[in-house]
Structure 1
Amino acid sequence: MDMRNHDLKEDIREYWSKRSQTFDLAFGHRIPPGPELDAWAAAMRDALGARPLKVLELACGTGEVTNVLLSLGHEVTALDFSEAMLAVARRKHAGNDRVRFILADAERTMEPDETYDAVVCRHLVWTLTEPEQAFAEWFRLLKPGGRLLVFDGDWSKPTPLGRLASIAVAALEQIIGHDPHYDGAMSERHATIMERLPFGDGLTVERLLPLIEEAGFENIELPSRRPIAAAQRRNADLRNRLRTFFYRRFFLVCSRPSG
Structure 2
Amino acid sequence: MATKKQCKCEENDDRHLEDIEMYWTKRSPHFSDEIEASIMEGHYTDWLNLINEEIDTTKRLRVLDCGCGPGFFSIILGREGHHCIGIDYSAGMVEMANRNFEKYGVLSKAYKMDAHNIEFEDNSFDLIVSRNMMWTLADPKRVYSEWMRVLRPGGKIVCFDGNFKLYLHDEEYMEVWKEMNSKEKSKRTVPGPTAAQFKKMEEITGNDFEVCHHRRPQWDIGILLELGATEVSAKVPGISGAYVERNGERHYLPMMFKVCATKADPTHPVVFHRA
Q: State the TM-score bracket (shorter-chain normalisation).
A: 0.7 to 0.9
Partner of 1:20: 28
Over 3 Å counting, the alpha-carbon distance change for 1:38 and 1:111 in structure 2 is: same
Match of 1:164 among 159, 176, 179: 179
The letter for the 1-side match of 2:81 is G
Distance 1:101 1:179, change over 3 A: closer
Which residue pairs with 2:44 in the alignment? 37
Residues 59 and 65 (structure 1 numbering): CA distance in 2 closer, same or farther, change over 3 Å?
Answer: same
**Distance in 1 separating the partners of 2:182 and 2:150:** 43
Q: Is the contact made by 1:159 and 1:247 (CA closer than 8 Å) also made in structure 2?
A: no
Question: How many residue pairs are counted as aligned between the two chains?
Answer: 235
Within the alignment, does 1:187 sit opposite 2:195 as a pair?
Answer: no
What is the aligned partner in structure 1 of residue 142 from structure 2? 133
3-state SS, counterpart of residue 224 of structure 2: helix
1:110 corresponds to which of 113, 119, 123:
119
Which among 74, 79, 86 is matched to residue 87 of structure 2?
A: 79
Determine the C-alpha separation between the residues in 1 that align with 2:199 and 2:140: 24
1:99 and 2:113 matched: no
Q: Are the equivalent residues in 2 in contact too, given 1:155–1:202 (CA < 8 A)? A: no
Structure 2 residue identity aligned to 1:93: F
Give, in whole Å, the separation in 2 of the partners of 1:166 and 1:131: 24
State how 1:48-59 maps to structure 2 within 5 Å. 48-50=55-57, 51-59=59-67
Q: Which residue is equivalent to 2:225?
A: 213
**Conserved? CA contact 1:31–1:64, under 8 Å:** no
Which runs of no fewer than 5 residues in structure 1 stay unpaired? 173-177, 231-245
Q: Measure how far apart 1:83 and its partner are.
A: 0.9
CA–CA distance in structure 1, aligned partners of residues 115 and 37 of structure 2: 21
Aligned position for 2:234: 222
SS of the counterpart of 1:39?
helix
- Residues 43, 167 of structure 1: alpha-carbon distance in 2 compared, 3 angstrom cutoff: closer
- Bigger Cα Rg: 2
Q: Which of the pair has the greater relative contact order for Cα pairs under 8 Å at 6+ separation?
A: 1
Counterpart CA distance in 2 for 1:165 and 1:196 is 22
The aligned amino acid for 2:201 is: H
Point out 4+ residue stretches in structure 1 off by more than 4 angstroms.
Answer: 165-170
| Pair 1:160–1:112, CA change in 2 (3 A) | same
TM-score normalized with structure 1 length: 0.79
Alignment RMSD: 3.0
For residues 52-107 of structure 1, give each alpha carbon's deviation from its aligned partner in whole angstroms, at most 9, with x where no partner exists: 10001101101112112112211001111111111111111117463121111111
Give the TM-score, by structure 2 length: 0.75
Kept after mapping to 1: 8 A contact 2:25/2:93: yes
Q: Is the 8 A contact 2:79 2:106 kept in 1?
A: no
Q: Aligned with 2:43: secondary structure?
A: helix
Matched-pair contact (CA < 8 Å) for 1:25–1:181: no
SS of 2:123's equivalent? coil
Structure-2 change in CA distance of 1:166 and 1:42 (3 Å): closer
- In 2, Cα distance between the equivalents of 1:201 and 1:118? 28
Seq. identity, %: 21
- Given that 1:128 and 1:198 are in contact with CA atoms closer than 8 Å, whether structure 2 keeps it comes out as no
Match of 1:256 in 2: 263
Residues 1:9 and 2:17 are matched in the alignment: yes
Q: Which ranges in structure 2 are unaligned for 5 or more consecutive residues?
A: 1-8, 168-172, 241-252, 267-275
Instruction: Confirm or deny: 8 A CA contact 2:131 2:161 kept in the other structure.
Output: yes
The answer as to whether partners of 1:55 and 1:117 remain within 8 angstroms in 2 is: yes
